[in-house]
């Protein structure tokens, strides 16, 4: 299979224009670390952003960084860290989970709109993404957004491209707003709560003024007690105060124990990367719901499936691990995740299963029509990753 690796935007535009002329489907890839997510797609050629690298703008005092799409996430994070800053949405590293190698890129991260535990406080990847350059399916270079964080000039195509998994346009450059790294991060752990009590504790903490930046629950498994995690961060004096306040607030749930900072950081990395499900060969689903429905969904799933669960985002994000057999629990999960707006995505499964089940959550007919027309508005010949998210999109 041909892999095109353009060295600049113009070369990429030429490749796309040619593919459009011949209606040749293109796979779109950065580091290839998320290639095994989504519906399996066959295409004659692949378009890689690996030749488009380099940080193009970094102004620490303006809290903004821009990089070409093929720049490694690691390089961006290193550059920010050298100035005491970071991407606030806590980008996950899903390589171990997805069993892939290579370097995640900022383009791939944006196309997948992946966000870690801090999403509850600092927003998602799509909230930090303030500007893009991209090439549409006609081979035209299009820009949207910019380098300033308040911008309502014209339609916000940035949001559309975030999380579009390469199906609308080929990203060539992304611009993020960034935040200072906190002086200290600290973690409080509550022991032995069942799912419902755990989510109640997380809700109590998130509804407090104590600026919780992480709220996760790891249910009991294999003889290990359940752990409910809360994180707060900021200036050291604030963190001390908030930890004490949270412990007092959470007395009815056991008050909790403060972890040492290193152990706490490791636990949050595990939650971010869904580490507990890394090594098994199971299929992994990602369910998004409101926290108050989380425990109910989990209980219903546990009745019909042999599954394990992890909760993040205060209970609103549920990772589900099920045996990679049959439909990998698709029917059972679709039967349980039914509230409009809630959704379940099969993130990890053998290609054979992803080819036969609906990977991304079905969307209502009128929204599907809009999505198809939006696809058409960017990519009239349907060359970018056709069908990776939905049939016809």
Partner 1 sequence: MTSIAFPVPDSAILARRDAIIQGLAALVPAQCLITSEDERRAFETDALTAYRRMPLAVVLPTSTAEVAAVLAFCKREGVKVVPRGAGTSLAGGAIPQEDAIVLGTSKLNQVLAINYADRTARVQAGITNLAISQAVSPEGFFYAPDPSSQLACTIAGNIAMNSGGAHCLKYGVTTNNLIGVTMVLLDGTVVEIGGDALDSAGYDLLGLITGSEGQLGVFTEATVRILRQAEGARPVLFGFASNELAGECVKALIGAGIIPVALEFMDKPAITICEAFAHAGYPLDVEAMLIVEVEGSDEEIDEALARICAIADRFSPMTVKVSQSEAESAAIWKGRKSAFGAMGRIADYLCMDGTIPTGQLPLVLRRITEICDSHGLKVANIFHAGDGNLHPLVLYDINKPGELEKAEQAGAEILKLCVEVGGCLTGEHGVGIEKRDLMTEQYNPVDLAQQMRVRAVFDPAWLLNPAKVFPLDDRKPAAGWPETGAQSTRKTVAA
Name residues contacting partner 1, limited to 248-287 (CB under 8 A). Answer: none
**Which segment (92-100, 185-193, 326-334, 355-363) binds partner 1 by CB under 8 A?**
355-363
> If binding is defined by CB under 8 A, does position 21 make contact with partner 1?
no
**Which one of residues 327, 343, 350, 356 is an interface residue with partner 1 (CB under 8 A)?**
343
Rounded to a whole number of angstroms, the minimum distance from the CB of residue 344 to partner 1 is 9
**Which segment (29-37, 97-105, 295-303, 375-383) binds partner 1 by CB under 8 A?**
375-383
**Which one of residues 150, 224, 251, 303 is an interface residue with partner 1 (CB under 8 A)?**
150
φ/ψ (deg, to 5) at 215: -150, 100
Number of residues that bind partner 1 (CB under 8 A): 99
Rounded to a whole number of angstroms, the minimum distance from the CB of residue 317 to partner 1 is 7
- Tokens 């892939």 — which residue? 100
> If binding is defined by CB under 8 A, does position 339 make contact with partner 1?
yes
**Which one of residues 104, 116, 214, 316 is an interface residue with partner 1 (CB under 8 A)?**
316
> If binding is defined by CB under 8 A, does position 149 make contact with partner 1?
yes
Closest CA to 172 of 72, 57, 68, 73: 68
Q: Which of residues 165-224 bind partner 1 (CB under 8 A)?
A: 168, 179-183, 200, 203, 206-209
Contact 319, 117 (CB under 8 A): no
> If binding is defined by CB under 8 A, does position 40 make contact with partner 1?
no
**Which one of residues 152, 248, 262, 352 is an interface residue with partner 1 (CB under 8 A)?**
152
- Tokens 């504790």 — which residue? 201
DSSP 117-140: TTHHHH--HHHHEEEEEEEETTS-
Where would I find the beta strands (DSSP E) of 313-391? Answer: 317-322, 343-348
Is 68 or 119 the residue whose CB approaches partner 1 more closely?
119
- 258, containing H or E segment: strand 257-258
Closest CA to 65 of 92, 85, 90: 85
Closest CA to 378 of 145, 137, 156: 137
Q: Which of residues 105-144 bind partner 1 (CB under 8 A)?
A: 113, 119-120, 123-124, 126-127, 136, 138, 140-144
**Which one of residues 284, 317, 320, 346 is an interface residue with partner 1 (CB under 8 A)?**
317
Rounded to a whole number of angstroms, the minimum distance from the CB of residue 382 to partner 1 is 3
| Residues whose CB falls within 8 Å of the CB of residue 325, separated by 6 or more in sequence, listed in order | none
> If binding is defined by CB under 8 A, does position 382 make contact with partner 1?
yes
Structure-block tokens of residue 305 = 């499936």
> If binding is defined by CB under 8 A, does position 163 make contact with partner 1?
yes
Rounded to a whole number of angstroms, the minimum distance from the CB of residue 255 to partner 1 is 19
What is the maximum span of the chain, computed from C-alpha positions, in angstroms? 66
Rounded to a whole number of angstroms, the minimum distance from the CB of residue 154 to partner 1 is 5
| Calpha distance 28→50 (Å, rounded) | 11
Rounded to a whole number of angstroms, the minimum distance from the CB of residue 280 to partner 1 is 25
Closest CA to 9 of 101, 152, 132: 132
**Which segment (29-37, 67-75, 220-228, 234-242) binds partner 1 by CB under 8 A?**
234-242
| Calpha distance 52→172 (Å, rounded) | 7
350-365 core/surface letters (b: 16 or more CB in 10 A; e: else): eeebbeebbbbbeeee
Site string for partner 1, 43-62 (x = CB under 8 A): ----------------xxxx
Is 265 or 358 the residue whose CB approaches partner 1 more closely?
358
Rounded to a whole number of angstroms, the minimum distance from the CB of residue 373 to partner 1 is 4
| Calpha distance 123→246 (Å, rounded) | 22
Is 50 or 359 the residue whose CB approaches partner 1 more closely?
359
| Calpha distance 151→145 (Å, rounded) | 7
């Amino acid at each position: 299979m041909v892999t095109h690796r353009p060295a600049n935007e113009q070369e990429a535009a030429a490749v796309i224009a040619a593919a459009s002329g011949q209606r040749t489907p293109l796979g779109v890839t950065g580091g290839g670390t998320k290639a095994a997510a989504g519906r399996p797609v066959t295409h004659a050629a692949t378009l890689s952003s690996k030749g488009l690298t380099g940080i193009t703008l970094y102004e620490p005092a303006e809290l903004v960084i821009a990089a070409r799409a093929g720049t490694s996430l690691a390089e961006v994070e290193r550059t920010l860290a050298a100035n005491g800053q970071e991407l606030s949405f806590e980008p996950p590293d899903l390589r171990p989970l997805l069993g892939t190698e290579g370097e995640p890129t900022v383009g791939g991260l944006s196309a997948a709109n992946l966000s870690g535990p801090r999403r509850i406080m600092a927003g998602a990847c799509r909230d930090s993404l303030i500007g893009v350059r991209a090439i549409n399916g006609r081979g035209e270079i299009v820009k949207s957004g910019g380098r300033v964080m308040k911008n309502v000039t014209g339609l916000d195509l940035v949001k559309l491209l975030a999380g579009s998994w390469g199906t609308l346009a080929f990203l060539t450059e992304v611009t993020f707003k960034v935040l200072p790294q906190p002086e200290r991060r600290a973690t409080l752990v509550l022991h032995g709560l069942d799912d419902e009590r755990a989510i109640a504790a997380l809700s109590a903490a998130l509804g407090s003024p104590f600026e919780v930046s992480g709220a996760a629950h790891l249910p009991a498994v294999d003889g290990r007690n359940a752990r409910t995690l809360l994180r707060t961060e900021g200036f050291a004096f604030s963190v001390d105060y908030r930890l004490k306040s949270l412990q007092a607030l959470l007395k009815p749930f056991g008050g909790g124990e403060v972890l040492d900072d290193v152990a706490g950081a490791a636990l949050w990395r595990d939650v971010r990367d869904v580490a507990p499900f890394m090594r098994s060969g199971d299929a992994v689903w990602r369910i998004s719901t409101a926290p108050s429905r989380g425990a109910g969904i989990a209980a219903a799933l546990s009745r019909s499936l042999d599954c394990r669960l992890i909760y993040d985002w205060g209970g609103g994000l549920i990772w589900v691990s099920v045996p990679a057999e049959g439909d990998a629990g698709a029917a059972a999960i679709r039967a349980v995740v039914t509230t409009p707006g809630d959704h379940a995505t099969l993130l990890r499964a053998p290609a054979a299963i992803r080819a036969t089940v609906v990977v991304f959550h079905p969307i209502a007919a009128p929204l599907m029509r809009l999505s198809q027309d939006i696809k058409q508005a960017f990519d009239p010949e349907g060359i970018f990753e056709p069908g990776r998210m939905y049939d016809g999109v």
